[in-house]
Amino acid sequence: MEAMEFHKYLNMFRGAYKVLEEDWQRSAREIGLTLAEQHTLWIIQIEGKATMSRVAEVGLWDLSTVMQMMKRLKEKGLVQTSKNEEDLRVSYVVLTTLGEEKVEASKGFTHRLENFLDNCEANEEDLTYIYEFLRRINQTYHGDGFINWVESGAENGSSE
């Protein structure tokens, strides 16, 4: 691919992501969270109980980032942690009642990209092609574990 052709793809992806990111940040801010904190709460809600490593894996973060975020979420009273009794090196995190309330509050927001996909002129075949294209990109760079998590979260009713 030539540089100018790549430039077009790069900026089209960036433009679409910018719309998604702006809406996600706005919805998180309206419930007193950062985008990353909101995403973390969704991950924990989908998992039910998660290790720090699992949150890092599916959130696409470094473990140290997750540890810092968990500290903030604990201080806000949104999560609580417990140790695995068989292996004390492993910590689990679950949502508190307040954390569950934040997740529920975040379900009420609409995103412009979601509205676009609902109202665009694309037919089901076009949308399936776009989804499969994005799936292949993510499978290449994030692996089957990430793909399986995304798809199982969708089956479990996630509206993140």
Residue type, 92: Y
CB 41 within 8 A of CB 82: no
pLDDT value for 154: 61
pLDDT digits (tens, 9 = 90+) for 96-155: 999 999 999 998 888 898 888 888 877 889 889 999 999 999 999 999 999 999 998 766
CB within 8 Å of 62: residues ≥ 6 apart: 56
pLDDT value for 79: 98
Domain count, the chain: 1
- CA–CA separation, 104 and 27 (whole Å): 12
Is residue 137, in this structure, part of any structural domain at all?
Answer: yes
Is residue 144, in this structure, part of any structural domain at all?
Answer: yes
The stretch 19-30 carries a mean pLDDT of 94
- The whole model's pTM is what? 0.85
pLDDT digits (tens, 9 = 90+) for 36-52: 999 999 999 999 999 99
Look up the CATH number of the domain holding residue 15: 1.10.10.10
Model confidence at 159: pLDDT above 60: no
- Averaged pLDDT score across all residues of the chain: 91
Is residue 160, in this structure, part of any structural domain at all?
Answer: no
pLDDT value for 156: 58
